[in-house]
Every structure is written in C-alpha cells, then in structure tokens.
Amino acid sequence: MLKLLIMMIFVIPLCFVYQGWWMVQSILFLMTFILMALNMPGSFFTGLSYFMGWDILSYGLVLLSFWICVLMIMASQSVYNTNNHYMFFLLLVVMLLGFLYCTFSSLNLFLFYLFFESSLIPTLFLILGWGYQPERLQAGVYLLFYTLLASLPLLVGIFYLEDFQNSLFVPLFAAINLNHVIIYLALILAFLVKMPMFMVHLWLPKAHVEAPVSGSMILAGVLLKLGGYGLLRVFSVLTLSGLALNFIWIAVSLVGGVLVSFICLRQSDLKALIAYSSVAHMGIVLGGLMTMTYWGLSGSFTLMIAHGLCSSGLFCLANISYERLGSRSLLVNRGLMNFMPSMTLWWFLLSSCNMAAPPSLNLLSEISLLNSMVAWTWVTMVMLSLLSFFSAAYTLYLYSYSQHGKFYSGLYSCAAGVSREYLLLFLHWFPLNLLILKAEPCMLWLN
C-alpha cells in the first residue's frame, strides 16, 4: 500500500529532469505492473496501513487509475513535442494519480472526502492550462462550482456520522443504519453530481469538450467513477432510506439516459458526442446501483471499469483525428476510412465495445444491470429497451458518419497513425476484452 505511494512521491522530482518524459512514463508502467503482481486481494480489507487499505472494489479502481494515467502521458506526446510546459504537466498527472490512489484506498470517510475534493485541483489545472479554446475558463468554473456546491452537504453528513458513531472507519459502517431524508440527501448528493446524474450533468460535456486529451481521458476514465465508488461505500449506512427513496434516482437516471441518447444523435462535435454517451452509461450504472441488489452492485462496478477503458479509448481516437485535421466537427471528420484507413479498425473495435457488443466487459456489466433493474420492477423494461436501442444508434452514427462517405475536400493526403497511437489504442481495447475471461473479481466482490 504505502510502498506505491512513496514510490509515487519519489517520481515527482523526476518530472523536472530534462527530457524525463519517457522515464516517468516507464516508471508509472512499472508501478502498474507491480500493482498487478500484488495479486487480487480477497473481499476483505488487505494491505492495511494505519490509514489506507483496499478490498477488491478499491483495487479495481486503483488499477484503473494507474492504467489511465500512464496512457494519458502516452496520449499527450504533443505536449512534449511542442515543449508546452511538459514538466509541469507531468507533475500534475503524478499528483492527480496520487490523490486518486489515496481516495480509493482511504479507510476513513473524512480522508476519502479530502482526497475526493483534492483530485479536482489538478484536473482544473489540466483543463485551464492545456485546453484548446478560450471557453475552457467557463468549463473550469462550471466543474469547480458544481462539484464544490454539492460537496458541502457531504462534509456536514460526514460530521454527523462522526457524532453518531464516534468513528469514521469505513468497515464499521455495516453496524449502523440511518433513516433520515436530510442525511440521506446530504451523503449522496455530491456523488450524484460527480457521476454525473442527468439534470446535474451540465458541467461534464463542457469540461470534456474544452479539456485536452489527457483531461478528457482522466475525467471519463476515473473521475466519474469517484461518484459510483462513493455511493457503493456510503450505502451500507443508508440501506433503510435507500429502500424508501431510491426509486426517484432510478427513474431520473433511466429517463435521463434516454434523453441524453437523443442529444447524442444530434451532436456534430466528436468529443461532445462521446461525453454525452458517458452520461447515458453512468445513468445505467446509477440505476443498477440504486436497486441495491447483488446483480446491480456488481454490475455497476463492472460497468465503471469497462466504461473507463472504452470511453478513454474513444477520446484518444477523437484526439488522433483532431491532431491530423484540426477540427472535431463531424462535418470535417468524414470519410476517414480514405484518410486514415488503419485507424478505422480501432474506431470499429472501440465503438462496438461502446455499444456493449461481445466479447467486451460492457456486455457482461449491461446484462447484469438489466437483470437487476428488471427484477426490481418490470416497468423499467420500457426505458431500458429504448436506452439499449439508442445507445447502439448513436454509436453507429458516430462510427458510420466519421468513417464512411465522401471525405472533406480540404484534406489533401493520407495519414497513417504512428506506432505509439496504435499501442495506446491496443492498451485500451485489450484489457477491456480480456477481463471478460476473468470476470470473478468484477462480479463476485461482494461478501
């Protein structure tokens, strides 16, 4: 546990070594493989230090954070090539990784809150410092105020819990069961905004569209998962309130998912389309999680991992096109099969994962979530069938519109990808399809 954190702290000076870009990336890769070699822990807390420890739920998300942060550095080579303050960029990535690592492995709810909020700061700097358009300032303010405003009630709720139980040690929460509407709202509101749930999702498309590729990757890959992780941790305290009130969030997230799918179908901006599809996917995660059934909880965890890899990969693809064409518009990114023929395969593979085609991990998790919600009440079948249909529809729209047809007349050559980009996309796609062969850690993490 602490060995990886100390290793991360010692990586920070290396960010300022002249041309230390590849060294930092290699060390982070090494740390990721060390983390894998530490083996899957059991469903109880292992690797305990005084304030940190993980179970399978934390382990999966810590591993995802490491993986996405390494791939962020790999995807952002243009920052290094153009010498755009790349040392500070590396520092922010390592700091963000450290905060995420501490968030997912905190055993104390207050420490979890502290690191949960801290992870906002490096993300904000990434968007403000390396974003593309002047609107990034507005996007940063949106991100900051949405998240901070919803997090204040969470802090009050945590202090109430401390007063109620005289302890904030997470594994002890199973013993208590609160049944107050106000404390229920206070504890889950911050996580609903972070997910983000429909109606409090407006900060997400803005932040995604204005962020550089690394910002988009970490936002879609890990930061949205903080909400789901927080809910999974907090619901052991709120079971009684949840049984009474969770139907509200399930209704909002399912109806919202369908409405967001309609929004996706009329997007002309590649990044905005992928960002809105994240909202739709997180809606299903939230719905399954709120049923509080075994299938729902394990399915929501699995879809968080799957969506992290898949969405991050799609943002990489959008950025690869953007670097070649200088535009994210689907009016310009047309007929890319003629322009970048070898990239079309990766567009196809990651798009099919996005619409939960076999053998991706998305399929396993969506089947699990459909099971949980239909078992909860059959009425959800209507919205779920629409959601599944339109999810496939907007993914096909994204793929066919960008790859097929007559290409934009302003293009003058054929552009192959470089080997770094192919490796980057492979490292997103491979674990996404490999993990379905070893699904027990994802599906059987509950005691």
Q: What is the pLDDT of residues 179-200, one digit of tens each?
A: 889 999 999 999 999 999 999 9
Percent of the residues in the chain that have a pLDDT greater than 90, as a whole number: 76
DSSP of 21-65, one letter per residue? HHHHHHHHHHHHHHHHHT----SS-BS--SSB-B-HHHHHHHHHH
| Amino acid 44: pLDDT | 66
Number of domains the chain contains: 1
DSSP H/E element including 372: helix 361-376
Cα 75 to Cα 213: distance, rounded to the nearest angstrom: 7
pLDDT at 41 over 70: no
| Amino acid 447: pLDDT | 56
pLDDT at 386 over 90: yes
The whole-number average pLDDT for the span 421-431 is 96
| Amino acid 43: pLDDT | 61
Residue 141 sits in which domain range?
1-407+415-444
The whole-number average pLDDT for the span 95-114 is 94
The whole-number average pLDDT for the span 124-149 is 92
At 108 the three-state DSSP class reads strand
Residue 412: CB atoms within 10 A of its CB come to 6
pLDDT at 157 over 80: yes
pLDDT (tens digit per residue) in 2-19: 888 999 999 999 999 988
pLDDT at 442 over 90: no
Residue 446 in tokens: 């509950």
- Residue (of 6, 185, 191) closest to 94 by Cα position: 6
pLDDT at 389 over 70: yes
The whole-number average pLDDT for the span 371-377 is 95
DSSP state of 223: I
pLDDT at 62 over 90: yes
Cα 102 to Cα 2: distance, rounded to the nearest angstrom: 10
